[in-house]
Structures are given as structure tokens and as C-alpha cells.
Copies of this chain bind each other. A is one copy, B any other.
Amino acid sequence: MTQLCKSCPATPRQAAARKHAIDRRLDHALFKAFADPTRALLIACIAKCGRGCSVGEIAECCSVDVSVVSRHLSMLARAGVLEPRRRGRAMLYQVRYRELSRALRDLADAIDACGPVENDKKEDRCGGGC
């Protein structure tokens, strides 16, 4: 993620500022979490529920085996999307609302920061950052 276009020599200051912002936000583990349809369904289900849901409950949202759901959930917890918590025999998973929306907004900010500014409008010039 730190390698840069050899053909885009950059203003060091611009490059540093931009590089820092976006590289740190592009956590592909986070996006892998959302990339699978089943996981997206699970996330949406738990998010809309607004509380910690057990694995069995969550499994009712979709048609796959409970073991598959369990694996998805622990993966989502590792990715920082869900917060796991034990209650008796049940394992409750809850969406980490704040952290999640924060991560998305931070990436959006980083992308905006890379967007073309006045000096970069000339199509043939590199904006600096590569």
C-alpha cells in the first residue's frame, strides 16, 4: 500500500499528507467483511435489530447452516464490525455502530482529500501523491 507510481513524482508535502490519510483507511479486512452477500445480510440483520443477537437468532435471518453463520460472525468480530459478548450459553453479537460509521467516514474524508483541487485540474499533471 506504500508503493507509488514511478511516473508520478510528487510534491513531498502533498504526497505525505495524502498518502497518510488514505492508506491507513483502506483496511481491506473491513471491506472483505461487507463483500460477501451472506455477511452483508447478517450485518444488516443485526444492525437493524439494534441489540446483541445470539448466533441462533441471527441464523434465522438466512438460509445457511448455523456453523457457517458462526464462522461469519467470528470473522466479522475479528474485522471490528461486531462486538462479541457471552451471556450464558448464548453468544451475543452486536454491531459496533460508532466505530463502523467512523471508519467509513474517515475513509470518505481521505478520499475527498485526494480529490482534484484547483491546481490539479490540468489533466496532464499529476496532482502529487504518487
- Residues on A close to B: CB < 8 A? 1, 3-8, 15, 18-19, 22-23, 26, 28, 31-37, 40-41, 43-45, 47-53, 57-58, 60-62, 95, 97-98, 100-102, 104-105, 107-109, 111-112, 114-117, 120, 123-130
Contact status A58-B5, CB under 8 Å:
yes
- Please give the count of copies of this chain that the complex contains: 2
CB–CB A114/B97 < 8 A: yes
Q: In the complex, which residues of chain B have a beta carbon less than 8 angstroms from the beta carbon of A23?
A: 44
Minimum CB–CB distance from A46 to chain B (whole Å) comes to 8
Taking CB atoms, residues of chain B closer than 8 Å to A109 are 101
Given A52-B123, A120-B51, A130-B49, the answer on whether A5 and B61 have CB atoms closer than 8 Å is: yes
Nearest B residue (CB) for A3: B61
- Asked if A60 contacts B28 (CB within 8 A), the reply is no
Contact residues in B for A5 (Cβ distance below 8 Å): 45, 49, 53, 57-58, 60-61
Q: How far is the CA of A117 from the CA of B32 in the complex (A)?
A: 28
